[in-house]
Amino acid sequence: MKRPTILVLGAGYGGLMTVVNLQKSLGADEADIVLINKNDYHYESTWLHEAAAGTLTPEQVRYDIASVINSNKVKFIEAEVTGIDVEAKNVKTNLGSHTYDYLVIALGFEGETFGIKGLDQYALSIANVKAARQIRDHMEYQFATWSTEEVKDDSRLTIIVGGAGFTGIEYLGELGNRVPELCKEYDVPAKKVRILCVEAAPMVLPGFDPELVEYAVRQLGAKGVEFSIGTPVVEATAEGVMIKTGEGEDDIEFIKAGTVVWAAGVRGNRLIEESGIENMRARVKVNKDLRAPGFDNVFVIGDCSLMINEAINRPYPPTAQIAMQQGDVCAKNIISLIQGKPTMEFVPDLKGSVCSLGDDDAIGVVFDKKLTGKKASFMKKMIDNRALFMVGGVGLTIKKGKFNIL
Ligand code: FAD
Ligand code: NAD
């Protein structure tokens, strides 16, 4: 009998967890496992705010895919997926086409701009490791230019962060630590720098525990972060952003800024929208066993998938925590299909969430317990290290883990 081909698209949390579990459980003669990813490295999306602020280097947040896959069992192809046709069972890349018996789509997230004018063109988004590096370099360029200018344009030193969700807040936490270093490096007086977070909702971290939110706002405030709450960004230009400050047509304020970072939500990968699978903002509402409705041999996991939390009738937030758990179940379900057994249901096992406020501070709720400060920060690093361990074992954890525990 012909060996089935399992094609996994994307080596993020979901894709890598699927492959690592498949290679553990399947013999080399049982299936052809093919992994396609844009780069020959995996980056920790959950550390991108650190690379974007410059508190970690791009190198620190990524590792070689070859170091965690077994090349006797998995064929890795470094290529960019350019099209998915589930009717024809065909995936196109910049280097050629691939067919499959089982497909896993794990192509991750893109920044959501909600069609707001100018954002695509003028704002920077913490979307991947290259984009994070660009944000860091852009910010440093503004500081360096300010320090050499004869007629100084102080707005170069204004950094606007759009969105006070987890990404925005974690990035602001890193900025709080990085900006004083930049001021020293580029001879910039600290009082010239403005860090402003603009949030559409009436609170920071909408929906999160109010006591922890209050702590976060206080801690970030002490590091010089200002908040403009209930004031959505409605347009971005080459010079800054327009925000809506009231109900009237004229209630628009323009804020000039040298750096605008957009962190106001995510969507799935745009390739999903042309794949022939029903989707909402490039996310597929998957069946309970993670398969795409109508396509029994296609699994969609991670940020490209959508699952409803029936207890509150709202989608689960797209997180690495869920993507990794899905990778585990996805691998099990593919093996069951190959062996003619029934698939299992995916049930997220949510352990809580921790939001960093820089390297030395955080807030979180873990197993229903509230945490702040160094305890929360320690927990965040343990979560980061656990993710490394689950993909690459002790070796990867020692090589890339966070052990600067205070
Ligand atoms: P990703 O991890 O995004 O991986 C997608 C992969 O697909 C990448 O390797 C990419 O290069 C590749 N790819 C994309 N397009 C193509 C293409 N066309 N061709 C080939 N390859 C392609 N979640 C948590 O649970 N905890 C956290 O602390 C946390 N912190 C976060 C911090 C930040 C700054 C951000 C932005 C997100 C954070 N998240 C966190 C959310 C989490 O990162 C995502 O939910 C998670 O990365 C989704 O995993 P994924 O496998 O779907 O995709
Ligand atoms: P999000 O959707 O959680 O937050 C986006 C924020 O932007 C919201 O507060 C929203 O009100 C605001 N916003 C939307 N439109 C706006 C506008 N026009 N102007 C100003 N503000 C606007 O998105 P995110 O923070 O990018 O997070 C994406 C996913 O990644 C979430 O599921 C999140 O839980 C996860 N994540 C988790 C962690 C963690 O666990 N530590 C860290 C980062 C991200």
State whether the beta carbon of 14 lies less than 6 angstroms from ligand 1. yes
Of 261, 294, 316, the residue that ends a domain is 261
Whether 406 has a pLDDT exceeding 60, the answer reads no
State whether the beta carbon of 12 lies less than 6 angstroms from ligand 1. yes
Distance (Å, rounded) from C-alpha 180 to C-alpha 193? Answer: 9
- 256 and 272 co-located in one domain: no
- 227 and 309 co-located in one domain: no
| Residue 198 domain flag | yes
Distance (Å, rounded) from C-alpha 322 to C-alpha 352? Answer: 11
Q: Of the listed 170, 214, 253, 345, which one is catalytic?
A: 170
- 146 and 234 co-located in one domain: yes
- 132 and 256 co-located in one domain: yes
Under the banding of pLDDT at 50, 70 and 90, the label for residue 350 is very high
The pTM of the whole model exceeds 0.85: yes
| Contact (CB, 8 A) for 305 and 286 | yes
Three-state SS string over 155-184 comes to HHHEEEEECCCHHHHHHHHHHHHHHHHHHH
What is the mean predicted confidence (pLDDT) over 59-83? 98
| Residue 358 domain flag | no
Under the banding of pLDDT at 50, 70 and 90, the label for residue 204 is very high
Atom 26 in ligand 2: which residue has the minimum CA distance?
265
Structural domain including 201 reads 119-261
Whether 168 has a pLDDT exceeding 70, the answer reads yes
* Interval 246-304: pLDDT, tens: 999 899 999 999 999 999 999 999 999 999 999 999 999 999 999 999 999 999 999 99
Of 227, 261, 295, the residue that ends a domain is 261
Under the banding of pLDDT at 50, 70 and 90, the label for residue 369 is very high
- Asked if 150 is an active-site residue, the reply is no
> What CATH code is carried by the domain that includes residue 100?
3.50.50.100
Which 8-state DSSP code applies to residue 208? S
Task: Say which residues have a Cβ less than 8 Å from residue 71's Cβ, sequence separation at least 6.
Answer: none
The per-residue pLDDT for 323 is 98
DSSP H or E run through 332: helix 320-338
Q: How many domains is the chain built from?
A: 2
The per-residue pLDDT for 2 is 84
* Interval 115-147: pLDDT, tens: 999 999 999 999 999 999 999 999 999 999 999
Q: Which two tokens stand for residue 404?
A: 């600067």
Of 261, 288, 322, the residue that ends a domain is 261
- 180 and 151 co-located in one domain: yes
| Residue 404 domain flag | no
